Amino acid sequence: MWNEKKQSHPSDRSQIVAIIIVVLGQGTLLPWNFFITASQYFNERLKVSNGTEAAVQKDYNYDSWMTLLSQLPLLLFTLLNSFLYQWVAERLRVAFSLVAIFFLFAFTATLVQVDMHPDTFFSVSMATIWFISMFVAVLQGSLFGVVSLFPPRYSTLFMSGQGLAGIFAAVAMLCSIMSKSDTKSAALGYFVTPCVATLLTLLGYLLLPHLEFARFYLNRHQADKLDTSSKLTSSTDKIALNGNTKDLEARGIQEESNERSSVFAVFKKIWLMALCVTLVFAVTLSVFPVITVRVKTVYTDYSDWDKVFTCVCCFIVFNVMDLAGRGAPSLFQWPSKESRLFPVAVLSRLVFIPLLMMCNIQDSKLTVLFRHDCGFVVVMALFSFSNGYLASLCVAYAPQLVRSRDCETAGSLMTFFLVLGLVVGASFSFLLGKLV
């Protein structure tokens, strides 16, 4: 019966499920992108006034600490989610995480109107980032598992949604910078935006099970379990009736458990993809944004361009090209998951670390190789496109290496190793920051 249904699966009418998957992907990276793009706002709030003297910048090293403290809880809770997802309902995990993220964003928006000492503001901001990352870890791991139950195209769409989150945050910051509102009003509008977006993400998730196409894939692994269970029971009964107590395998029947494989068993099948996604994001976070935000324009006489240069050439270029890279696998997928060129392509991204460090950074200890704005933009474009493309391939390939019932475990494991790469890169960024 199930095989007959399988042949005539429903279609994604008006691509509604595809749109929701994109929205869900965007929701998982909204917190990270809104905090990282607001670097200028936080650094301004962290200036210390020394009496009648002009405000001076205390070395809080916001970019590096924000990156590290957002990734450490993400790593710990992603690991926890990989092992404990079987005991907590997926709908509860996702819904509770989105509600918590909404309230933490609302709290951050409220802080815009509250005058605080820089030390206190830094501590409160870092604590907020820590807690919001905890819920993002649970959300991201859960949604990766859900999306892995759909055809590979939807994993690519999910990754594209994550890339869209960066563009969304960068455009919101650009509008904030260019607006004629006072600083507090502009910042308030900036942080209210993700509150609204998080609510839309929650609504999209709650709508998903009510769509026929989504129900088909969300329930399919349950039907597979029942189908396998009935076959095994039927085969066992026949053997018992014949008085044969030998193993099922001796009678040519596969002994396939109707339960999910262990986490370690799934890892053995996807370890290469897991290590590749770790390296992809380790390279990216080691220089972005800690190094890239230090690059300055050569057109210092144009005050308007000088204000928006970092937002446009660092954040918008990165996120637009990263989104293009995440969407490219829906058109072509090269190298293949079996090709030895795949890990070679991932390793080749290491060249971007010295290239970005040799862009136009003021008072740099290194030789400046790309002084002009165009050189920086070209390197950033290649750097970000390769990040999105290779990361999407890793996430899309991994579920194809395991059984359908193990896709959720594979998705959760890939999320853990993705975050592991972010933590490694964030930790390495402290060292690279001192080298320039």
pLDDT greater at residue 261 or residue 289:
289
pLDDT for position 301: 79
**47-91 pLDDT, tens per residue?**
754 444 444 557 788 888 898 888 888 788 767 766 666 677 788
Instruction: Return the pLDDT at 346.
Output: 97
In this structure, of 65-69, 255-259, 351-355, 415-419, the range with the lowest mean pLDDT score is 255-259
User: Is there a contact between 218 and 408 (Cβ–Cβ < 8 Å)?
Assistant: no
Interatomic CA distance for residues 262 and 392, integer angstroms: 25
Query: At residue 359, what are phi and psi to the nearest 5 degrees?
Result: -85, -175
* Position 24 confidence tier, pLDDT thresholds 50, 70, 90: very high
Cα 404 to Cα 315: distance, rounded to the nearest angstrom = 37
- In the prediction, which pLDDT does 84 show? 61
The C-alpha atoms of residue 145 and residue 161 are separated, in whole angstroms, by: 16
Contact indicator for 202, 99 with CB cutoff of 8 Å = yes
Distance CA 195, CA 286 (A): 29
Closest CA to 348 of 292, 279, 394: 279
pLDDT at residue 313, as a whole number = 95
Alpha-carbon span 48 to 118, nearest angstrom? 7
Tell me what percent of the residues of the chain surpass a pLDDT of 70. 85
**Residue 428 token pair:** 């390495």
Show the domains of the chain with their CATH numbers.
Answer: 15-50+60-225+263-435 (1.20.1250.20)
Q: Please tell me the predicted confidence (pLDDT) of residue 8.
A: 63
Pick from 314, 318, 298: nearest CA to 306 = 298
**Residue of 207 and 162 predicted with greater confidence:** 207
The string of pLDDT tens digits covering residues 348-381 is: 999 999 999 999 998 888 889 999 999 999 999 9
CA distance 365 to 368: 9
N- to C-terminal Cα separation, the chain: 65
Q: Which amino acid is at 51?
A: G
pLDDT at position 54 is 47
Q: What is the pLDDT of residues 199-232, one digit of tens each?
A: 999 999 999 888 888 888 888 755 554 454 444 4
What phi and psi values does residue 269 have, to the nearest 5 degrees? -90, -25
Q: Which residue has the tokens 């960066």?
A: 166
pLDDT tens-digit series, residues 377-402: 999 999 999 999 999 899 889 989 99
Q: Cα separation of 402 and 406, whole Å?
A: 6
